[in-house]
Structure 1
């Protein structure tokens, strides 16, 4: 008899950065919120404000794209002086993920996940040498919606989704605000039967 699969704990993660890719550019802030837990076939939504993580980081390079900074409104000069060391933040984040996950496997979720996951995974590997999510513990909410709605991925945008799926929170481009907003979207998508 096969053992039941280990539960998954879905953690909504949002990052703000000063450019399109990690390395040449820097992750400036990270926000995370526990979205919910899946045991076998049952998903249980969490209060996304109950277990959260937020830090602002010191830039790792001199390069930046002004338009990227304008999106988040973060002050890069202030972060050069006051931002936390990336290594300390990523170790703290990894410990937080393990603590909130308990006996479940943590899964990062994002909308869309590709950009946030690229920075998150690169920073985790660069500064801690490991990822609490493994190398593929990532779920893209845009793909989840496209699959359930039976739509081509490129036809999907939040403005095309049924309003009852969306969070009532504003998307502010503050990493923690957006992680909480997207945690609500994720739980709504998990409960939604689809088209």
Structure 2
């Protein structure tokens, strides 16, 4: 994709979704996650999916666990055949390293999903999602991309109104938001490509600012 000043976007975006059994890294556990690596033009360059063992000493949050019991397929996908955490995170680092640079972490929202991935990376590897100026070895480049914030900017709506249910299904490649990490990551990866295209078209004066969608109402369920 060509940038606004004629430069081509050569970045790889590592679009990531997580499934957790509570709100707090450490007290609760990340049960599964998936990353889909895509170019700005929407070309997939690889995917990673894993189910992890619970953290030592952690326990599910009762409210989160109760919600998951209403989503049995999602709970099964997030908990079946879990693998040792250190092995998963080591393999994830190797997979990210196999991607071309520059590469950027992306999630919706990055404050939540990115915080969990950063916690697991720092606890079980020598990396993080966004690393400081004195950390010589980095896994990702740039500051990371919050898809929810970017979508709000592109469509001209408040961030609080952005969710998989408030944007057209085709923007997610018509991939249902199942709360299975790989499904949701692929949907968000497709969304990123659509947002890039709309931003380019809007800059060229050929796309409307606001997404018109009949079911575009704020939703409160888990993202």
TM-score (norm 2): 0.71
Map of 1:91 onto structure 2: 90
Q: Which of these residues, 7, 31, 36, is aligned with residue 33 of structure 1?
A: 36
Give the number of aligned pairs.
179
In 1: Cα distance, 2:92 partner to 2:116 partner: 14
Q: Which residue of 2 aligns with 1:63?
A: 59
The structure with the largest helix share of the pair is 1
The residue that corresponds to 2:75 in the other structure is 73
Q: TM-score, normalised by structure 1?
A: 0.80
Q: Aligned partners of 2:42 and 2:52: how far apart in 1?
A: 29
Give matches, 1:13-28, under 5 Å: 13-28=16-31
Q: Could you say what the CA RMSD is over the residues aligned between the two structures, in angstroms?
A: 2.6
1:54 counterpart = 2:49: yes
How many Å apart are 1:133 and its aligned residue? Answer: 5.3
Q: Is the 8 A contact 1:13 1:109 kept in 2?
A: yes
Gaps of 5+ in 2: 1-6, 133-141, 203-208, 210-223
SS at match of 1:169: coil
**Cα offset for 1:167?**
2.5
Match of 1:170 in 2: 176
Normalized per residue, which structure has more strand?
1
Deviations 1:113-152 (A, max 9, x none): 2221111001001110213653664211111011122222
Which runs of no fewer than 5 residues in structure 1 stay unpaired?
37-42
**Residues 45 and 123 from structure 1, CA distance in 2 versus in 1: closer, same or farther, beyond 3 angstroms?**
same
Of 87, 111, 128 in structure 1, the residue corresponding to residue 108 of structure 2 is 111
Counterpart Cα distance in 2 of 1:83 and 1:158? 27
The structural deviation recorded for 1:45 is 1.5
Higher relative contact order (CA 8 A, sep 6+): 1
Q: Which is higher, the Rg of structure 1 or of structure 2?
A: 2
Deviation digits for residues 86-118 of structure 1 (CA, Å, limit 9, x no counterpart): 111111101101102x2x222111122222111
2:166 aligned residue: 160
